[in-house]
Structure 1
Amino acid sequence: MAAWTADELDRIGTAEELNLQSQRGDGSLRDPVTMWVVRDGDDVYVRSVKGSQGPWFRGTRARLAGRIRAGGVDKDVAFVDVGDPGETTPRVDEAYRTKYGHYPADIFGSVVTPQAKEATIRLVPR
């Protein structure tokens, strides 16, 4: 798989929001969904606040591919499930806390619930 460039990581990592379009089974793109995005080292992550039942999250399961736009970066991506949640989840939690922890608890708290943590996706450039 391809890797993010340093510039892409910086731009996505500092963007307040990301637009995500998952690919349907026929290859067309779904309507964009706006969400928070975090960077952990050379990896980029998003979470579904509604967990695996969130409509956009379910859409990522059709082809495990789509397109993102954030910080001026427009890129085709693969949606990769987090391999070892025990190792990755605390780091992603901390990335969310650092970037978005200034929001009120009822808003920020939605990305660190157990259901959101279980619906963490790593975005990998294609």
Structure 2
Amino acid sequence: MAAWTNDQLDTIARVDEIEISSRRTDGTLNTPRIIWAVRDGDDVYIRSVNGPSAAWYRATRGRREGHLHASGVDTDVVFIDADAAVNDRVDAAYRDKYRRYDASIVDSINSPHAAETTMLVVPR
């Protein structure tokens, strides 16, 4: 698998929202969904605030491939279930990046329900 460039990582860390699309079994992309993403070192993580029942999250379960778009970053990606060991770091990254939002909003993306959907997003 490829690695993120420093410019891509900086962009993802800077923008509030990214768009992700999962790849269907026929190879086409689902409708993009706007979500939050965080950077932890050289890695990018995403979560479903609505937990595993969210349609976009369920769609990633099939091929585990998709596409990410964020302010000039436009790349195919792979979705990898993250090990629970990263959850504290990802929680902290969400708190830091989105601290200007109401605490209840940030708490929802860091809830145990959301944390169980944490995925590492890797360029393909």
Same fold (TM over 0.5): yes
Which runs of structure 2 are paired with 1:2-13 in the superposition (5 Å)? Answer: 2-13=2-13
1:48-90 CA-to-partner distances (Å, cap 9, x unmatched) read 01111111000001100000101310000000110x312x000
In the aligned structure 2, how far is the partner of 1:95 from the partner of 1:43?
Answer: 11
Q: CA deviation at 1:106?
A: 2.5
Structural RMSD (CA): 0.9
- Runs of 5+ unmatched residues, structure 2: none
Where does residue 93 of structure 2 map in the other structure? 95
1:121 aligns to 2:110 (yes or no): no
Say if 1:81 and 1:121, in contact at 8 Å, map to a contact too. Answer: yes
Query: Identity rate of aligned residues, in percent?
Result: 51
In the aligned structure 2, how far is the partner of 1:49 from the partner of 1:11?
Answer: 22
Normalised TM-score (structure 2): 0.96
Q: CA deviation at 1:105?
A: 2.2
- Runs of 5+ unmatched residues, structure 1: none
In the aligned structure 2, how far is the partner of 1:101 from the partner of 1:10?
Answer: 18
Runs of 4+ in 1 over 6 A off after TM superposition: none
In the aligned structure 2, how far is the partner of 1:70 from the partner of 1:115?
Answer: 25
Normalised TM-score (structure 1): 0.95
In the aligned structure 2, how far is the partner of 1:65 from the partner of 1:35?
Answer: 16
User: How many residues are treated as equivalent by the alignment?
Assistant: 124
In the aligned structure 2, how far is the partner of 1:50 from the partner of 1:37?
Answer: 15
